[in-house]
Amino acid sequence: MSFANLIDGRAIAGQIHDETTQRITALKARGVQPGLAFVRVGEDPASKVYVGRKEKACAQLGIFSETHVLPQATTEADLLALLGRLNVNERIHGILVQAPLPTHFRATVVYSTVLPQKDVDGFHPVNVGKLMLGDPTGFWPCTPMGVRELLIRSQVKIEGADIVVLGRGNIVGKPMAAMLCQKGRHANATVTLCHSQTRDLGAHCRRANILIAAMGVPEFVKADMVKPGTVVMDVGVNRVNDPKATNGYRLVGDVEFAQVQPLAGKITPNPGGVGPMTIAMLMQNTVRAAELSLNLNN
Ligand code: GUN
């Protein structure tokens, strides 16, 4: 693709990986290799792909990683016991339990069991609370953090902007809104959080300077919902049936890209926009967890 208004998530993630690699080198000089444990329950095909990509990034950057795959029928007690062992494992600085979990798990109990200082996903209530309070000592969830970083590194002004976030999920929508309305640098935006019950959604979207689509509905955002010049960030990853594709489906975002791209001030392609940034932020959080462990131990 060669559109002038594209935000190249792969290139920006590459810059961040370079910065993270320098920090890893410094840590290794002090005798510490950052370590990240992945926990995946069941055989959700998308989760397998995501964890595979994260493992690969660890290997490329020199982060130690180990993956624990538990059967779908694993009990909550067994999962909590594994997390307890990882919490006290000194080789492991970050723990990631891939979502979604099978429905017989209580997600809040599981995510509360990961020690906050190893919670590189930012899902523990302590880290969620710190984000809400504007306390920078916590970990922030990787995908919204990646969206914010893309805006910053693409010179999109967040301060004072009207930002509409579509979707109120715990992984993206809610933390995204919290980050952007924060009092502070690269924040101070006026944020509207829209969802399936929002009245006249199009009117909200058309007011936005920055529109962030994270509701998981294939190609929901159409051209008539976007004011010319708006910066459009597409977080969606949706499988839609496609008899012509070899595997029977193709992946599309939450934005009807072909329609919206010509209007947008800037726009993330999908794939190649937000996705690589989630991984870059995870690597960064893991390295930060390792750095913090060093400070705690000295
Ligand atoms: N599933 C979709 N996004 C994420 C994420 O950022 N972290 C985890 N653990 N699971 C996810």
pLDDT in tens, 216-246: 999 999 999 999 999 999 999 999 999 999 9
Closest CA to 100 of 87, 110, 92: 110
CATH pick for 142-274 out of 3.40.50.720, 3.90.550.10, 3.20.20.140, 3.40.50.300: 3.40.50.720
- The single residue listed with the structure tokens 């504007």 is 134
Which of 86, 121, 281 is the pocket-test mutation for ligand 1 (most atoms within 8 Å of CB)?
121
CATH pick for 35-115 out of 3.40.190.10, 3.40.220.10, 3.40.50.10860, 3.40.50.450: 3.40.50.10860
Q: Where are the alpha helices (DSSP H) in the chain?
A: 9-29, 45-61, 76-87, 107-113, 125-133, 142-153, 173-181, 201-207, 257-260, 274-297
Pocket of ligand 1 (CB under 6 A): 96-99, 121, 142-143, 171, 278
pLDDT at position 295: 83
Ligand 1 centroid to Cα of residue 278, in Å, is 9
pLDDT at position 297: 64
pLDDT at position 179: 98
Is 227 annotated as catalytic?
Answer: no
Nearest protein Cα to ligand 1, atom 2: 99
**Domain ranges (residues) in the chain:** 35-115, 142-274
Identity of the amino acid at 195? H
Cα–Cα dist 202/192, whole Å? 12
The residue length of the chain stands at 298
Q: Do domains 35-115 and 142-274 have the same CATH topology?
A: yes
Nearest protein Cα to ligand 1, atom 4: 99
- Closest ligand 1 atom number to CA of residue 282: 6
pLDDT at position 185: 96
pLDDT at position 20: 98
Given the residues 121, 130, 234, 284, select the one marked as catalytic: 121
Is 121 annotated as catalytic?
Answer: yes
- Closest ligand 1 atom number to CA of residue 99: 10
pLDDT at position 48: 96
pLDDT at position 3: 80
CA distances from 276 to 1, 214, 252, 270 (A): 17, 16, 15, 10
Is 54 annotated as catalytic?
Answer: yes
Ligand 1 centroid to Cα of residue 104, in Å, is 18
pLDDT < 70: residue spans in the chain: 1-2, 296-298
Cross-strand partners of 136? none
The pTM score is: 0.97
